[in-house]
C-alpha cells in the first residue's frame, strides 16, 4: 500500500510562502529569476505552481553546506 502525502503535488506561491514563512513577493522573485522551479498552468507565464520538493531542492543547492 502506498503512503499518501499530506502535502499537495503543486503549491501556489501563496501556499508555499505560508508554509515556509517567507513573503509571497520573495517566492515570486525566486520563480521569476529562475532560482525556484515552477510550472505554469495557463498561457503567458501566469499562475505559477511550485512542484512538491522544489523549495527544498532550492535550499539544498543555494545554501552553503557547513
Torsion of CA 22, 46, 31, 53, to 10 degrees: 80
Residue-wise pLDDT for 15-27, tens only, equals: 999 999 999 999 9
Structural domain including 30 reads 10-62
DSSP string covering 18-66, please? HHHT--HHHHHHHHHTTSS--EEEETTTEEEEEETTHHHHHHHHHS---
Element (H, E) at 15: helix 13-20
User: Domains in the chain: how many in total?
Assistant: 1
Does residue 14 fall inside a structural domain?
A: yes
pTM for the full model? 0.82
- List pLDDT tens digits, range 1-48: 455 556 679 999 999 999 999 999 999 999 999 999 999 988 888 899
Is 2 within a domain? Answer: no
Amino acid at each position: 500500500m502506498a503512503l499518501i502525502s499530506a502535502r499537495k503535488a503543486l503549491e501556489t506561491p501563496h501556499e508555499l510562502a505560508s508554509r515556509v514563512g517567507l513573503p509571497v513577493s520573495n517566492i515570486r522573485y525566486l520563480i521569476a529569476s529562475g532560482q525556484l522551479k515552477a510550472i505554469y498552468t495557463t498561457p503567458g507565464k501566469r499562475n505559477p505552481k511550485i512542484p512538491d520538493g522544489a523549495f527544498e531542492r532550492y535550499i539544498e543547492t543555494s545554501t552553503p553546506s557547513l
